[in-house]
Structure 1
């Protein structure tokens, strides 16, 4: 493997000269052409990560995610990575495994690794987060959650839920269950629930019960089974596609047919929701595009450009076969 020392020896210059060239430092035109030619001939490729860490201004963006086994997370990361590459930045991913303590630790660790900025796919923002952001003193962008003190990019959870509610009403459903998640998660636990509540409130004839589960499909199966047995709604509106998939499984286990006996909706627009039968009606969020937008925003912040404090990503209601019309 060719090294900087090899390049320096072939060019007849010091290693520090080659290093300055690789980091866009001051090098004469003649020396620059000589080094470029040798690099071309040898096929030398610098270690961008190490090179960036040694530089005063790095080109690394730290990205903290709550979990890696998530469709939304993986699509968002793809978008971030693709866009950062266009800006000649590198992405460094850190997984918190849904632990707030580990998430805070990752913030400090990335700062010590001299990242230029941090993108945080957060579930919630605590005082510990705000303290960490102030201490590290580098640009931070939240994705999926918002806070008035931090630049944020969010999915329009409230409006998407409002439109789901209007669709449910248009289909004639009157006895409705909403299966959400903890309100510690502002976006999914509060904003989606509130958007749906406000939408359903436009019809005084509706009977609605609100329930809570975790993000896990197994938990959704258990809770939706209890809802079906105790409440017998005509539709269960689920706060995520995974919860909706768990609900559909519970319905099948109870011998119910979807949507004949029970209608189901979700949020997310995961690829699998269009492949299962019946296809799931859902609010589709564009996670990859959101990741691309997040990458653009964090690079603008690193460069000192002005961006909006709050940015919304797009969504679309996908109408499929999982919702029946009630006469």
Structure 2
């Protein structure tokens, strides 16, 4: 039996009006807010806005779990999801997992308790715990950015992205290269992009590529770039994301290195900021907004019991800019 506001008020030792204010985003003390958050979560309380939708066979609410809110990729994907849901009469509930695997699991359970019709999950890694939880919640779960044979997914062609980037920089004459990636636990960004680049490097003779690792944070990328430049002298640093590339560019500027004449830098993603910085960053653009729209369309079909392609691969677009020096050009 679902708890009522009166039940929650009694359990918390507060007035019904206090619980109502909390549920409607009104002003309550920090201590009371923490207590009510804990009690509503532990009791599985379903607010009226959700309870009303339970009377129908399914709700129009779609839960979206994002790795972090300050990500360009996540923001563009969420915008695509939101616009498509609005057109289709749906609504989106966003849960920020803060790049924490356990919080992703908790979010799936929490959203299911709130009776969402389906979940769009932008996970950085798909573990057995993710799969068990997806099965346990009993509602459609769609992956975006990562793929797994047991779940429906929308993925980018990360291998081709790495291949395109590798062939471009090698054609520009670079043979002493540092590749700054992320953990291979992230199969899309950490593994497939690198494998694509490695395939391109194998096509060219006398090519030395050293592989390094960072997190997605600009600050960590700056530190990684310092280590690379201290112990290696590449003509080019290929970065697994545009954010990582921004960290490398910052380190280069601090050291007085000119881009691209002293050091070439590339990224992946196609973030808007890559057009603003000077020189503009050579990158591979990913269709994040379109992925969001397609994800919303797919999850709505799944919640309606319709067939959806199990795994869909979205193409990417190479974008040549000014941050890669052409070492083949004749010397003056």
Regarding TM over 0.5, the answer is yes
- Write the deviation string for residues 177-200 of structure 1: whole angstroms up to 9, x where unpaired: 100001111110101111110111
**Aligned residue for 2:198?**
197
1:313, distance to aligned residue in structure 2 (A)? 2.1
- Residue pairs, 1:19-34, within 5 angstroms: none
TM-score, normalising length: structure 1:
0.84
- Please give the per-residue CA displacement for 1:160-192, whole angstroms capped at 9, x wherever unaligned: 110000001110101011000011111101011
* Alpha-carbon distance between aligned partners in 1 of 2:201 and 2:54, rounded to the nearest angstrom: 53
Contact 1:79/1:289, CA 8 A, preserved across alignment: yes
The aligned residue for residue 209 of structure 2 is 208
Distance 1:263 1:57 in 2: 53
Q: Secondary structure at the match of 1:278?
A: coil
Give the structure 1 partner of residue 313 of structure 2: 312
Deviating runs (4+, > 2 A) in structure 1? 47-56
1:186 equivalent in alignment to 2:187: yes
Partner SS state of residue 70, structure 2: coil
Give the match for residue 247 of structure 2. Answer: 246
Larger radius of gyration: 1
**Which runs of 5 or more residues in structure 1 are unaligned?**
1-46
Q: Which runs of 5+ in 2 are unaligned?
A: 1-47
Q: How does 1:224-243 map to 2 (within 5 A)?
A: 224-243=225-244
Q: Which residue of 1 aligns with 2:59?
A: 58
**Distance in 2 between residues matched to 1:51 and 1:75, nearest whole Å:** 31
User: Which stretch of structure 1 is more off in the superposition, 47-56 or 150-159?
Assistant: 47-56
CA deviations over 1:10-43 (Å, ceiling 9, x no partner):
xxxxxxxxxxxxxxxxxxxxxxxxxxxxxxxxxx
> Which residue is 2:28 aligned to?
none
Does the CA-based 8 Å contact 1:53-1:113 persist in structure 2? no
User: What's the TM-score once normalised by structure 2's chain length?
Assistant: 0.82
| CA–CA distance in structure 1, aligned partners of residues 177 and 167 of structure 2 | 13
Provide Cα deviations, 1:54-104, integer angstroms capped at 9, x if missing partner.
433111111111111111111100000000111111111111111111111
Work out the number of aligned pairs and report it. 281
SS at match of 2:115: coil
CA offsets, 1:184-231, max 9 Å, x none?
Answer: 111101011111101111012101100000101011111111111211
Measured on the aligned residues, the alpha-carbon RMSD in Å equals 1.3
